[in-house]
Amino acid sequence: MNEEPAPEAQGSSEKPGVGETLTAAATLMRDFPRETMLPLLAIQAPLVLGTILLTVLLYSSVFADEIYPRGGITGATEGAGQVFVLIVVVALAIILGLVAQGATIMSVAGVALGRPLTLTQALDPAFTRLGGLIVLTLIFAVVGGLLAITLVGLALIPFLVARFGIAYQVYLLEQTGPIEALTRSWRTMQGNMLRLLGIILVWVALFILIGALVPASPGPGGMAREARMAIDAGLRILQGGIAIPIAAFAHAAITLYYLRIRKENS
């Protein structure tokens, strides 16, 4: 295993800039691909393959008489049975996604601090502290949903994203509770918001740009169901293959940024 100090461990005392942080994250992924991407791959690969298998089984049996929607079960909007399965699949995807995010944060921090973790060591706190990760996510979802109702609320969202953007890192790395993680994130990001917001905006732009290159799922007509299921399966695998490095890059950048800020404040 490569034991050389990661970019974060070599950082200066100055506040990290957007370009510096993104470069450090990219370098970390290049030098430590296993530590930065394996936690996501270990969770997302079974999830993607399981969703494909579930879609094929359901639309070959239980939903054989239903119209196969664009994207398969993840695109279902009609029929109580299909919508119920969709809700279950989305809920499971969110929960497992939080585990993958948490494990990636732990693994990136381990490398950055010169203490690389095994996959099991990275996954353990993500699973054992999953309840708090869910609480944080629910808080963000509810507050974001309420703010999105009005234009004033929408304008506040970027501010709150920047102010609470390191809450997951604080929660996992400092072993705090969800509320304490939010309050520490609020205090820590005083004077550091614009840089974090810049990092997040670059990641979102990258995600949209690369995601736009993925072909759309075929519509309901003009193609046999089996062919559409096969195409959807290929697209899900392609989307997962693209999403993993992009998500790893985002988690690495935010985690490295937090570690630098924490070092300055210690």
User: Which ranges of the chain does DSSP label H, i.e. alpha helix?
Assistant: 18-31, 33-58, 80-112, 119-128, 130-147, 151-163, 167-173, 178-188, 193-211, 225-265
In a domain, 8, yes or no: no
201-241 per-position pLDDT tens digit: 998 888 888 877 777 777 666 678 888 888 888 988 998 88
Which tokens in the block code for residue 252?
């690495």
Yes or no: say if 72 and 65 are a contact pair by the CB < 8 Å rule.
no
Residues 26-31 have a mean pLDDT of 96
Q: Which amino acid is it at 238? A: L
Q: Give which of 1, 8, 22, 239 is closest to 119, Cα–Cα.
A: 1
Q: Which amino acid is it at 23? A: T
The count of domains in the chain is: 1
Domain range for 199 is 33-265
In a domain, 253, yes or no: yes
Neighbour count for residue 116 (Cβ, 10 Å): 18
In a domain, 23, yes or no: no
pLDDT at 12: 45
In a domain, 27, yes or no: no
Distance CA 44, CA 124 (A): 16
Yes or no: say if 59 and 94 are a contact pair by the CB < 8 Å rule.
no
In a domain, 18, yes or no: no
Helical axes 178-188 vs 225-265, angle rounded to 10°:
60
pLDDT at 222: 64
In a domain, 25, yes or no: no
In a domain, 193, yes or no: yes
Distance CA 70, CA 76 (A): 8
pLDDT at 254: 96
pLDDT at 257: 95
pTM beyond 0.85: the answer is yes
Handedness of CA 12, 16, 21, 23 (dihedral sign): negative
pLDDT at 169: 97
127-183 per-position pLDDT tens digit: 999 999 999 999 999 999 999 999 999 999 999 999 999 999 999 999 999 999 999
46-101 per-position pLDDT tens digit: 999 999 999 889 888 888 888 888 777 877 777 788 889 889 999 999 999 999 99
In a domain, 11, yes or no: no
